[in-house]
Amino acid sequence: MDMTRATRITAVLALFSLGIVMVGPAIGQPDQKKDPLPTDRVMRLVRLLLEQEHISERELDDTISERAMKGYLESLDPLKLYFTQRDVNTIRKLEHDLDDIVRRGEDSFAHLVFKTFMKRIEERIAFIEKVIEEKIDYTTREYFITDPEVAVYATNQEQIDRRWRRRLKYDHLRLKLDKVEGAEARDQILRRYRNFRRRMRQVDAEEILGFFLGAITHAFDPHTAYIAPKPYEDFMIGMRLNYQGIGAHLQDQDGHIVITKVIPGGAVSKYGKLKDGDKILGVGQGKGGDILDVVGMKLSDVVKKIRGKEGTVVRLQVKPKGGGDTTIHELSRARIHIKEDRAQSKVFDIDGVKVGVIDLPSFYSDGAAARRGVKDYRSCTRDVRKLLEGFKKDGVDTVVLDLRWNGGGLLNEAIRLTGLFIDKGPVVQVKDGRGEVSCYNDRDAGMAWKGPLVILTSRFSASASEIIAGAVQDYKRGLVVGDPSTHGKGTVQQVMDLGDLITRRGKPPALGALKITMQKFYRPDGDSTQLRGVRSDVVVPALTGEVEGESSLDYALEFDHIPAAKHATLAMVSPAIKGQVQQLSKARTDASAAFKKTRTDIARYRKLRDLKMVPLEEKAFLALQEDRESGPEVEVPQSTNDETLRIRKDDFLSEVLRIAADYTKVLKGTV
């Protein structure tokens, strides 16, 4: 970096500290002495990996710096309610220097921007406290902007005050919908913003680094990301589908840690004396010693204190839901298996055709258990194979593999799982930044399921889901049914543990990880699924088809094509077969009152989705909200151990089951 640029960076940082964003150490000021994370080392390592390993093979240059600046500001203040135009003008003096800041491993810029943000939070809450008792005129014709792309930064105090009065009016109107008004509404609003301030005050250096490096990494593509140590631990738990704890989901509610869900089979479930809604006021370790007060403590810190080695004791000081005496509960930590994210199945009889549905929410595997030689380690391929074996015993005719809510997961599992439905051959081709192409094959001869196959997809189906859908389509192995196309994520990420990369001996330091896009994947026929996704053979009308895909994301990589890999094709799909099934489905959905409503809902959904602002005149606001509440919403199913809730025979699935039955009959020539 030349001296002119270095001098400019130093001068701007000095300008920050001289008063434009000066704020006391108690406000958003992480205690660096208590944070062991070597941020300079992490920044340099992330920069090195981005420049050497990212598929784009581009340097961390001025363009990336511009993107990262925009991303960092928007990650903190998406609706532009806190930062002022003056703040942004000052911050953007370094718009082309973030690349050099990262190279030097300096985190002062990230912290100073966050301190500015905290100062503005304090100012806005002081304003709220000042005006919260003011009478609101609900007859004024004005609007509150809800689209971040339309919002702009305020340029003076008058604009700031006007904007926040509108924001508060918006908050009041939303509460009015729930019949909350007057003093109760004011208390709720004030408490909400004070809680936001409290959570932001708890942000530490590790999290600030995560915000900043997140903006840097996302400037390369939407899926490259720095994962700070604490989120990385949670990420690995999700991949393993198990952890050591008490078996409960917790949530921060107004500074209290509340049990929101008891996991079946966990320590809390077996203990039987704690329930949803109970508040955890304190945590103690072992059978003796003090109970630490956790009221107001950051949720992630409380979770860390509750988790621990299997078989050890944790004591919880709990206030029961609805009142009652505070009690100390002693529980032994246990290994919690998160079964709710595993494959599940259900069999339906449709006009004499038995259709087996497998719901697969992700491509998971407990790799650590596999390396330890655990015989029955968790793997989606192993789970699906067992379900298919059960289908064969039950005399199932056709399989529907439901990937509607499957956003991806482990590439190896996607390849292995595809191998359950093809004999052997290429499943996916992968190209790196140097243009080198590798082909990943299913090498296991034979199929776990040879019968008719339907792959059910939606715009939420991404990455590894698209590998399976694309391979099944290219092999003419089965039908792809659902939304017009899948999400369009045709990139391959690798998660690199930064501590592992620099450690040769002993336990690696917790530096977090970099999830980096290193390759793009391609179907056996050579098309990338990037941006375009996998197009369905039979489209079933649904709101999910209106959800934006990869093409809507900032800095998404482009679609391209490579030569096809040699592979077999089966006679299970042809234009004639597709045409028959399409015609039968269209006739049903055209005549169906349920799907007529779906098409009407789609039109309303598009109209409501495209709104940029909401009216604050009460009658207009209530009319709009009534339209929204009575209007359609894309409902993402909640995780649950109850497969009758995961696999629900609604109008949409009923049509998919009929398509599967039609497909079976067409193949047999019995339609």
Active site members: 463, 474, 489
Q: Token pair 């956790």 is at which residue? A: 294
HSE-CB of 575 using CA atoms within 13 angstroms: 0
- Retrieve residue 74's tokens: 């928007």
CB 215 within 8 A of CB 114: no
Distance from first CA to last CA of the chain, Å, rounded?
72
Total Cβ atoms within 10 A of residue 182: 9
Tokens of 282: 């304190």
Q: SS3 for 15-67, per residue?
A: HHHHHHCCCCCCCCCCCHHHCCCCHHHHHHHHHHHHHHHCCCCCCCCHHHHHH
How many Å apart are CA 267 and CA 309, to the nearest integer?
Answer: 13
Residue 180, phi-psi category: left (phi > 0), alpha (psi -120 to 50), beta (remainder)? beta
Interatomic CA distance for residues 300 and 190, integer angstroms: 24
Q: Which two tokens stand for residue 140?
A: 């004024």
Nearest-5° angle of CA 98, CA 104, CA 109?
45
DSSP code at position 577: H
Letter string b/e over residues 344-359, b meaning 16 or more CB atoms within 10 A of that residue's CB: bbbebebeebbbbbbb
